[in-house]
Structure 1
Amino acid sequence: MTAARLRGRALERILDSLSDRDRAILVDVGRNRVLSGAQLSRLHFVTIAPTARDRIRRKVLARLVTLGVLAILDRRVGGARSGSDGLVFAPGIAGQRVLPLLAAESAVKLPTRARRPWTPGERFLKHSLDVSELGVQLREQEQTGAVTLARWAVEATAAYPNGFGGLMKPDASLLLQAGNIEDSWVIELDRATESLPTLRHKLLAYVDFANAGQVGPDGTIPRVLVVVSHEKPLVIENRLKAIQELVSGLPDPADRLIHAVRFEQAVPHLVNVLDG
């Protein structure tokens, strides 16, 4: 069904047919733009017995795809052997129409413009799924009771005014809480595809933002976490060292503002800084 035809009663019927879990799945996919089958399983099906988990997940997600609430992208992750775990889901046309209605219920910032789902290139998709994975890991930390993920936004919904008529455009931004302590962060996901001068220019913008006394979406100057990800460990090691050297050469307060870590260290680092 086209976006133009999905209005009024047709939209109401779809919304009424969604269970609480269906709605939560759509909100998570909408908030992250893309999620894999494996990531959705960890977020919404982990309490189901392992013997039935995959079957129930496939049935639930297939129904949402049939309704147009979700769409399966043409590109999968992990190859053919990954099965349904490797399928990548995005909001379908119906899902995009429903999302604005759910945004008010879920108190999260969600995209509101409906467009036909499209499959990005492999490089961009890997980047997006890495960012989504950080959000999934933070949600898992939240489920343990260690922290509260009070806010999580990616791509366009993570942007905020830079105070000079433009926008800061991190890959993600978040607010993490523990008791009465909270930390505001932005994330730059680095897969060693940008030149170091380009990355320097991007990080210098955060330094200028801080020195100008501007505040981010949480009413404070957010810290910056550069997360280095790649399939090759040697690339990660070399890239991380280069970024750390780059940060050390930036003006104050770069040494306190900007942190750089390997991908697997990112969420533990966020939690440890909050605890500290």
Structure 2
Amino acid sequence: MTPVRRLTESRLSLLADSLTESERQVLRLLASCHLATADQVARSVLGGHRSATARRLAHRHLLRLAQLGLTRFFPDQSRARWPGRPGHVHALTTAGVKLTGGAATPGARQRSSWRPADAFLTHRLAITELYVRLVEAGRTGRAAVREFRVETDAWRTYRDPLSGRPCYVRPDALLRLVTAGLELSWFIELDRATESPRRIDAKCRAYRSYELSGVEQERYGIFPGVIFIVPDQPRASVIQRVISQQPAEARGLYVVTTEAAAVTALTNPPDDGAAAQPALALVGRPCPHPTHH
């Protein structure tokens, strides 16, 4: 892993002025998604180039940013790699976080030997991969990503209106897309088929409780839909059964889709007059103030 440099405010300002637009985009990607591979950087930031050129430029930009002390990298132990060419995962350093104005990124303030667990990397890179696929889809004229925040940046804290105790919802990501004059808002649960139906039920109830609090609507004007992205259809059936057991007025908040169909489900707004209630969640939905309940 590259060492984390301590950079003064004046040095950071000089570095910011010296960065190319592509390097700025790489930093913005890492500020948003926290972790990314060189391939993901190439596809999301440099997708206008041929694949080989994009990969070469991505490696060049990432190397320079690491040398400047704005990013760091470590071996990706979570998946198979080409023989003789280890893959790496890239993240912002503390200086990189400060320059981008982002929140803390995983391990940024920890010792240089920090190594995330394989399961952690697999999950986080899957979130980044979803973002990259959405960016690629946007180049074909589909919905454009306006905002993408992952895990801690997307988490919400509020107080139970009755007990006053702190409550939480912890989506894997928050997504806002723009298409056909609409803004589509989602809380994303990237399901790995590792959680029990009871745990999924608890998540559904937490989102509904947060919706009824009215906090999200007061802050942002709308409550995002909640989409569970699952590995396959059997897992989708498990989660659909959990949703079917939620209160009738809450079921339209949740959508289930497979990883293969995720981009389509996230980017297609409902047709006018669509009868299926889950489609309402695609653009989010307003909610009466909790005092009305």
TM-score by length of 1: 0.84
Residue matched to 1:124: 120
Q: Secondary structure at the match of 2:7?
A: coil
Cα offsets for 1:38-75 (capped at 9, x unmatched) = 11110122222445333332222111122222111232
Name the residue aligned to 1:11: 12
Q: Identify the match of residue 221 of structure 1 among 212, 220, 223.
A: 223
Partner amino acid, structure 1, of 2:245: G
In the alignment, does 2:267 pair up with 1:271? yes
Change over 3 Å in CA distance of 1:141–1:74 after alignment to 2: same
C-alpha displacement at 1:2, in angstroms?
5.2
Q: Tell me how far apart the structure 1 counterparts of residues 202 and 82 of structure 2 sit (CA, whole Å).
A: 41
* Alignment partner of 1:241 is 2:265: no
Q: Aligned partner of 2:117: which letter?
A: G
Shift of 1:273: 3.3
Secondary structure, counterpart of 1:133 in structure 2? helix
Letter in 2 for 1:264: A
Distance 1:50 1:273, change over 3 A: closer
- Give the distance between the partners of 1:218 and 1:240, measured in 2 at CA: 30
Displacement of 1:77 in angstroms is: 5.1
The CA distance in 2 between the partners of 1:175 and 1:265, in whole Å, is 18
- Aligned 1:44-193 pairs, distance under 5 A: 44-76=45-77, 78-81=79-82, 86-100=87-101, 110-111=102-103, 115-116=109-110, 118-164=114-160, 165-193=166-194
* Alpha-carbon distance change, 51 to 224 in structure 1, aligned in 2, over 3 angstroms: closer
Residues 84 and 96 of structure 1: is their aligned pair in 2 closer, same or farther, counting only changes over 3 Å? farther
SS of corresponding position for 2:15: helix
Structure 2 CA distance, aligned partners of 1:83 and 1:182? 45
Secondary structure in 2 aligned to 1:73?
strand
Separation in structure 2 between the aligned mates of residue 17 and residue 178 of structure 1, nearest angstrom: 34
Runs of 4+ in 1 over 4 A off after TM superposition: 82-85
CA distance in 1, matches of 2:244, 2:86: 40
1:210 aligns with 2:202: no
Deviations 1:128-156 (A, max 9, x none): 11111111122222222322222211111
Task: Give 1:189 deviation, angstroms.
Answer: 1.0
Structure 1: give runs of 5+ residues left out of the alignment: 101-109, 230-235
Q: Secondary structure at the match of 1:246?
A: helix
Task: Work out the CA distance in 2 between the residues paired with 1:258 and 1:51.
Answer: 40
Deviation at 1:163, TM superposition (A): 4.8
Instruction: Measure how far apart 1:263 and its partner are.
Output: 1.0
Quick check: which one's helix share is greater? 1
Q: 1:152 to 1:83 in 2, by over 3 A?
A: farther
- Alpha carbons of 1:80 and 1:212: their partners in 2 closer, same or farther (altered >3 Å)? closer
Equivalent AA in structure 2 for residue 9 of structure 1? S
Q: Is the 8 A contact 2:73 2:91 kept in 1?
A: yes
Q: In the alignment, which residue of structure 1 is the partner of 2:257?
A: 261
CA apart distance, 1:76: 4.4
Post-superposition shift, 1:204? 1.0
Letter in 1 for 2:109: R
**Structure 2 unmatched ranges of 5 or more:** 161-165, 273-293
- AA in 1 matched with 2:94: I
Query: Which secondary structure does the structure 1 equivalent of 2:115 belong to?
Result: coil
> Could you tell me the percent identity over the aligned residues?
30
The alignment partner of 2:269 has SS state of helix
**Alignment-mate amino acid for residue 7 of structure 2:** L
